[in-house]
């Protein structure tokens, strides 16, 4: 029993956590995510070497000895670089989701709340963005902006905006018909206030689920851009970029490209299964 003084929102959170802790895939996904966050936060303490300092005598050493995952063509420890890569990939994911989620939510809430002409114009624009295969559009945008990590993040976020906008719009359409919105309007509340106070908070659950599920996609798209050469540039220890350089050594130094990829796979699996479980738990129809 939670203490009586607990704020309702916190009580809701506690309940969610309790239900999640009984769901095996949520626990598994959560554990993977927590492990990655841990590695990312404490990379400087955990990593045995410097991620960018060259050490040519140690070039392309196989896993074993002092190097769990071997070394690359410049003698850098791959394990160290993979740990630092966790920082980069998780930051990319979070940044993409914050930008895309923030802009998308704002667009969707405004569009759904006002409805009518504004809504149909905004949604047509979203449809146009969705008419491009997402990697293709991200590639074109990143190429136009020029190869850099920041541009890759922006390009990835851009292609994800419609997902959030559509979802929030759907919720906003439903919420704006609720009596408390009408009451608020009668009491003289402005549009901006209603959107901030009523529409957006009601979309929170769905937005969290969507954010968790798209975080994995964001990491994949950003890594793909880096692999193509449009994202993180050397010597940044980004996973996709590491795989791109490891590709040249694939036939004889298998470890180079393999380990960064395994970390991408694990991270994205973590977000995907956690997001799936979260969706089931936060769905009010299934709850309790």
Partner 1 sequence: MRILAYTFRRLLAAIPVLLGVSVLAFLISHAIPGDPARLIVGPKASKEAVEAIRKEHGLDRPLPVQYLHFLGGLLTGDLGRSIRNHRPVTEDLADYFPATLELTLASLVLCLSVGIPLGILAAVRRNRFADHAARVVSVVGVSTPVFWLGLMLLLLFYRHLSWLPGSGRLDVTSAPPAGVTGLYVVDAVLAGNWPLLREAVSHLILPAFCLSYVYLAIITRIVRSSMIAVLGQDYITTARANGLSAGRVVFKHAFKNSLIPTVTIVGLSLGELLGGAILTETIFAWPGMGKYVVDSVNALDFPAIMGFTLVASTAYVAINLGVDVLYAFLNPRIRY
Q: If binding is defined by CB under 8 A, does position 272 make contact with partner 1?
A: yes
Stretch near partner 1 under the rule CB under 8 A, chosen from 8-16, 78-86, 105-113, 257-265: 257-265
Per-residue binding string, partner 1, 157-196, x by CB under 8 A, is ----------------------------------------
Is residue 249 a contact point for partner 1 (CB under 8 A)?
no
Instruction: Give the start-end residues of each E strand in 159-216.
Output: none
The answer to the question of residue 254 lying near partner 1 (CB under 8 A) is yes
Instruction: Estimate to the nearest angstrom the gap between the alpha carbon of 92 and the chain centroid.
Output: 7
Closest CA to 141 of 156, 127, 126, 161: 156
CB nearer to partner 1: pick between 3 and 146:
146
Given 165, 231, 240, 278, the residue binding partner 1 (CB under 8 A): 240
User: Is 148 strand, coil or helix?
Assistant: coil
At 77 the three-state DSSP class reads strand
Q: Is 222 in the site for partner 1 (CB under 8 A)?
A: no
Question: Coil, strand or helix: which one is 71?
Answer: strand
The residue whose two tokens read 């009580």 is 11
| Cα dist from 22 to 19, 161, 225, 273, whole Å | 5, 33, 37, 14
User: Binding partner 1 by CB under 8 A: which of 146, 179, 188, 284?
Assistant: 146
Peptide bond into 235 cis (omega under 30): yes
Residues at the contact surface with partner 1, assessed by CB under 8 A? 124-125, 127-129, 131-137, 139-141, 143-146, 216, 220, 223-224, 227-230, 240, 243, 246-247, 250-251, 254, 257-258, 260-261, 264-265, 268-269, 272-273, 276
């Amino acid at each position: 029993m939670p203490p009586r003084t607990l704020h309702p929102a916190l009580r809701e959170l506690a309940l969610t956590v309790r239900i999640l802790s009984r769901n095996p895939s949520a626990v598994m996904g959560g554990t993977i995510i927590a492990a990655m966050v841990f590695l990312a936060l404490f990379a400087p303490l955990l990593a045995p070497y410097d991620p960018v300092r060259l050490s040519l005598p140690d070039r392309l050493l196989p896993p074993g000895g002092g190097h769990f995952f071997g070394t690359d063509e410049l003698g850098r420890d791959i394990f160290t670089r993979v740990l630092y890569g966790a920082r980069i990939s998780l930051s990319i994911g979070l940044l993409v989701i914050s930008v895309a989620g923030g802009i998308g939510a704002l667009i969707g809430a405004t569009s759904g709340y006002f409805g009518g002409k504004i809504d149909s114009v905004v949604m047509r624009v979203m449809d146009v963005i969705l008419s491009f295969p997402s990697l293709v559009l991200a590639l074109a945008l990143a190429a136009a902006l020029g190869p850099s990590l920041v541009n890759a993040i922006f390009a990835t976020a851009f292609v994800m905006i419609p997902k959030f906008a559509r979802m929030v719009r759907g919720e906003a359409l439903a919420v704006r018909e609720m009596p408390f919105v009408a009451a608020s309007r009668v009491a003289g509340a402005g549009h901006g206030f209603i959107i901030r106070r009523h529409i957006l908070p009601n979309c929170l659950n769905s937005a969290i689920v969507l954010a968790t599920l798209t975080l994995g996609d964001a990491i994949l798209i950003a890594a793909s851009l880096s692999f193509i050469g449009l994202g993180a540039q050397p010597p940044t220890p980004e996973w996709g970029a590491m795989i791109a350089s490891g590709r040249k050594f694939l036939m004889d130094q298998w470890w180079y490209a393999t380990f960064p990829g395994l970390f991408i796979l694990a991270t994205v699996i973590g977000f995907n299964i956690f997001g799936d479980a979260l969706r089931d738990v936060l769905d009010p129809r299934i709850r309790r």
